[in-house]
Every structure is written in structure tokens, then in C-alpha cells.
Amino acid sequence: MEKRHRNQLRERFPLITDKHVKYNRAVTRYEEIKRVQKGSNEHKEKLLLAHLISEYENEKSE
């Protein structure tokens, strides 16, 4: 996301944080690769994204 656009979003929606933007990107990417073959680089990426998404969601629920 372009820096200017990100700043405009923050002005309009002050509760949006960089973490939230990164979370949304991670979820989008996870959805794109969720059915990849085990052992591939994308599978490793999927596992990492799942971990990061889970960490963010657990942090938000506390």
C-alpha cells in the first residue's frame, strides 16, 4: 500500500493500524495459497502466515 494512501486511511479511520493492515494482507495471501502442496516453499509460507494470523487474533482477543 502506498504511504500516502495509508496516511489518508489513518486520517479517515484512526483505529486502523499497521498491524491491522499487515493482518489483512496475511489473511489475503493465506487464502491465495491455502491449498498448496506440502513441502513446497508456498507451504512453508502458509504455515508461517497461519502462525502470524493466530498470534494477531489472540492478541486482539485479550
Q: What is the pTM of this model?
A: 0.71
Three state DSSP letters for the chain = CCHHHHHHHHHHCCCCCHHHHHHHHHHHHHHHHCCCCCCCHHHHHHHHHHHHHHHHHHHHHC
pLDDT tens across 42-60, in order?
A: 999 999 999 999 999 998 8
Q: Grid coordinates standing for 3?
A: 504511504
pLDDT tens across 9-39, in order?
A: 667 766 667 888 899 999 999 999 999 999 9
